[in-house]
Structure 1
């Protein structure tokens, strides 16, 4: 005797009379409440996987595919993609990528599914697209991608103007009213003692993790830098904060700004007037090394320092 179950009913038919009555109603396709019946043959195995339909949670498994005791195909990596459809059975990945994790073909730290330029290393600011010259204009919109320029000139340098006549155009000249040298961005050549103080301060500057708090081991070098500036009242200092690509873009931008401001505040406590120090933060947008290694990320977490004269 076969037992028929009717989906939506409170109980299964338990005797031939009830079974016959239910089957007749099911044949009409409606019950008294006008709800369709579904007849399930408990011993039937629609997909031939060895698990009867009454116990099979996946009654349309492809023929020959190994299944669990509940009749469903295996999913070894538990990513929701059955192994027979999963091109990366041992690595969890989304269904839209055939069960494989999203890769990073250009190794820029931005996964391909979020990278608008997956074959060209880029930066998060431009959703994975490059800005080769670092002028804040992505290459695909930059008419001079290898020369720093301005938005007004579509990424190309503005017409050459050299106010102080030192051979460094005003656009690149941090001291455009004081003759200087190209190696110091248009500012007067740094004296040996100033250069040494800058190098030591840069090399030894450390912050607490994910914080703008300067570690005490950095104080000695910063004190020497402050002393150089106090003894050279015409000097000015420009600080630029940078981070690696770990973490949220906006958080990194904020952290880079706070760190450069933290250095400014510290130097102020050592007698350097705040008006002589300018700061900026660029987050992860201007890496100097790869973000694929610990050493590279450490190099990218930095505060650059430039002494200028006016």
Structure 2
């Protein structure tokens, strides 16, 4: 447990600040790493009292220069009063000064009684805001030995006690200086952690001391803030460093801070002196050799009282000269600190009312209103008829709401025909043209028919009309006869602007007769408006490269007859469609050597009965086919029938075709070069076998690059 407590104490060492009491609006012995805003002054006064019921020395007295032990009374009063002031010359730089006074009364048999000045303390602190919740700080402090050397018995700091020679309670023999590192954590305004660590050096004896402290402020922004801190001073000696640190007393400081109006604070706190590992005794105490008149006094003290109580009153004054809104009035006098850039303000920094209409410029939508006019809540002159023209300029103050008006507030008449725009249905009537109550000319289309009886008041000029003022239209197609190029259109027929029947695809066949209404422009069509395919091969004439193809002949995408075996004879005329490449043929497409035709081999392929097992002699023909397919880039479709299989013909024919397919694949022919299909009892018709065939096997070759 002791080791854990020591470790927790050591964790406080990196977070240090000034030595003193209540030196900022945050913390007591451990102030914030933050600084005051530029131009702010902080002043505090503190009273601290020590009266723990024990004498001012551990042994209950002191030894004089003659070796006599003199007992001290208990409850000897001991208190300190400290005045501290700091001023921020920049937003992140703060300078401070501290003047302490001490009192110890009625120390019997000594000349050390009474009230005396302590050491003057000067400080400077800079703040580094890392982010919104973490701040670093660096400070330097200088202690001038200005205190009384003939007063007091309890040393105020550990560096007041020398290793030898004289020591004083209210002052140091020599100047001292230290450098501190600070950090602060602000956790959502519910908790603040302040800490400091510093190294103090005595310029006389060159002694060094580690100053440290850390603490929590709970609810730092609330009316009542709870504070709990730990702090201490440890000599840094070259020998037995750890011993000196572990045997140096430290203090725990609980406190309450009350936030008063006008940035004033009342702080109540208490110091409780502790030793790290055990109760402090004379062996661990500080040995003091104190000068009292002509005598030297020897005694031991803890260096930190067991109990101390302090009360502090502090206040922040705003003496800044910053002007955040750049309105020429410094922030602390600016009653309107968020004035817009360039806005005119009064001496208190608030926007002025230049037109003196009672509405400040900042909200005045009409800032140049003539003096004396009555205005609305926006600062604009009154406009009772809401026509956009202020009453003092409105020559027609009772204009109907929503009517268009001119610059004088009177109803607008753009074309000057005496009818205001709100009632004028003809806004662009020629000047001087007689108009009716609707603002339109009395004979708007000038066709000789008054508007009152003109059923077509917008008839174009020069068009023949009937007695109702509407254009003559003999064929009733909606196009006046005077511009109708096809005056005899059939009733109900769709016509264009010229009155002629519509021809949407411009193929010369009217839409009403056009059975192919989307024919591409420029292609030949028949009387029904459809594209022409004279040879009936499915390829329109304008795209057909072979327009005379016999009906039913297989063709390619250009309309030309297919030649599956590539022998120069189109399939529709080829009597021997399975001819191998580079074979001499006659005019019917048959090879002079019948062995060069795949279907010659097909005739030698037989199956046993109605089975799918081949007769042995059939393998010779299949091997010949394998030979030719290896020699030439041909694809092959295998067709089989099974006329003798009765009701099972469909299945047997498929199994036979698949058997031949698998055999060829097994012999190394790629699957993508082969297709197979069974056709039941009879092979399908071809152009040269119009009634089909009862052959058991038929092969349909094609070039390898031809799509199947």
Higher relative contact order, chain-length normalized (CA < 8 Å, sep 6+):
1
Same fold, TM-score > 0.5, yes or no: no
Structure (1 or 2) with the greater strand fraction: 2
Q: Select the structure of larger CA radius of gyration.
A: 2
Structure (1 or 2) with the greater helix fraction: 1
